[in-house]
Amino acid sequence: MAKVKVTREQKKLLKAIKKNPHDPAPLCELGWMYFEQHHYSEAKSYFSQAIELQNHSPAVADATYGLALIEMEQKQYIYMMEISKKMPVNEKV
């Protein structure tokens, strides 16, 4: 797995998380940043942390949605890999 490059915005969010670890908003925002970069394991981690806070914030609902999208994205990838294995070698996409 490739190393994930942390942007300036992500560093700011990490500082906000360190300052107030019970706020799900920066956790969720960081999850979306990693999601957009297709770093799904990192995104999943931050979304999960936001959900574990069990806060009634809209960020928790947003994090739950993010996890659902990751699951859909990964299952689609798995499905395409399964189809690819069934195709003759000269027909693979």
Mean pLDDT of the region 31-44: 94
Distance from C-alpha of 51 to C-alpha of 42, rounded to nearest angstrom: 14
Please report the pLDDT score of residue 81 as a whole number.
Answer: 73
Percent of the chain with pLDDT over 90: 55
Residue range 5-28, pLDDT digits in tens? 788 999 999 999 999 999 999 999
pLDDT for res 88: 61
Domain regions of the chain by residue span: 8-86
Does residue 13 contact residue 25 with C-beta atoms inside 8 Å?
no
What is the Cα–Cα distance from 27 to 67, expressed in whole angstroms? 13
Please give the average per-residue pLDDT across 52-62, as a whole number: 87
CATH class of 8-86: mainly alpha
